[in-house]
């Protein structure tokens, strides 16, 4: 698949999120339970969902990653329990959009890395993505709510970024 890749400056967006260290094999089955907790929090919180679901991959290594799964929200709030107030990374990044099967997201990440290398851009080991979840996940029918039942991944439209400057800040509340 060919990806249209751009170099851009990205602004941070507020997130309500949960974080867990997982192996790479655990990533797909961990995202939904983390989001379930965030959506449960948002049902009673003063802050409101505003945008897409987002995954941020902190400190990736061969063994795994610190996975942050969250929802873009209207503004900052007080962290409570497992749900914390954070922001997406800001700064210079390479960006692309993946449209297709969830299982093929790796090709888009590879394309970002190859493009950055070909253009001599130093890349941080930090990546994030936002997904139009309403078109991405089906649970025995087209529902937008989340539960702990296993999702069926079909087609997705996912915006993906990878930081390219070592001085890109990692903001939080």
DSSP string, 5-51: -EEEEE---EEEEEEEEE-GGGHHHHHHHHHHHHHHHHTT-SS-EEE
Give per-residue pLDDT as tens, 3-58: 888 888 888 889 999 999 999 899 889 999 999 999 999 999 999 998 888 888 88
Domains: count for the chain: 1
170 part of a folded domain: no
Residue 128: per-residue pLDDT = 62
End-to-end CA distance of the chain: 38
Q: Which residues of 2-18 are buried (b: 16+ CB within 10 A; e: fewer)?
A: ebebeeeebeebbbbbb
Q: Which domain holds residue 143?
A: 12-163
Work out the number of other CB atoms within 10 angstroms of the CB of residue 107.
14
Give per-residue pLDDT as tens, 88-140: 887 777 888 877 777 777 788 788 878 888 888 776 655 666 654 333 333 33
Residue 146: per-residue pLDDT = 30
2 part of a folded domain: no
> H or E element: which one contains 60?
none
Confidence of residue 82 (pLDDT cuts 50, 70, 90): very high
Q: What is the CATH number of the domain that holds 150?
A: 3.20.80.10
171 part of a folded domain: no
25 part of a folded domain: yes
């Amino acid at each position: 698949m060919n990806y249209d890749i751009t170099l851009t400056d990205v602004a941070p967006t507020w997130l309500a999120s949960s974080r867990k260290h997982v192996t790479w094999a655990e990533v797909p089955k961990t995202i939904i339970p983390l989001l379930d907790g965030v959506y449960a929090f948002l049902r009673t919180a003063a802050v409101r969902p505003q945008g897409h679901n987002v995954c941020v991959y902190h400190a990736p290594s061969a063994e795994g990653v610190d996975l942050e799964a969250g929802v873009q929200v209207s503004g900052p709030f007080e962290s409570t329990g497992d749900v914390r107030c954070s922001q997406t990374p800001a700064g210079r990044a390479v960006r692309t959009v993946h449209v297709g099967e969830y299982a093929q997201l790796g090709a888009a990440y590879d394309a970002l890395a190859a493009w950055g290398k070909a253009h001599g851009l130093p890349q941080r080991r930090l990546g994030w993505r936002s997904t139009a979840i309403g078109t991405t996940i089906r649970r025995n029918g087209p529902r937008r709510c989340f539960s702990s039942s296993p999702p069926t991944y079909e087609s997705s439209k996912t915006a993906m970024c990878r930081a390219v400057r070592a001085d890109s800040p990692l903001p939080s509340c």
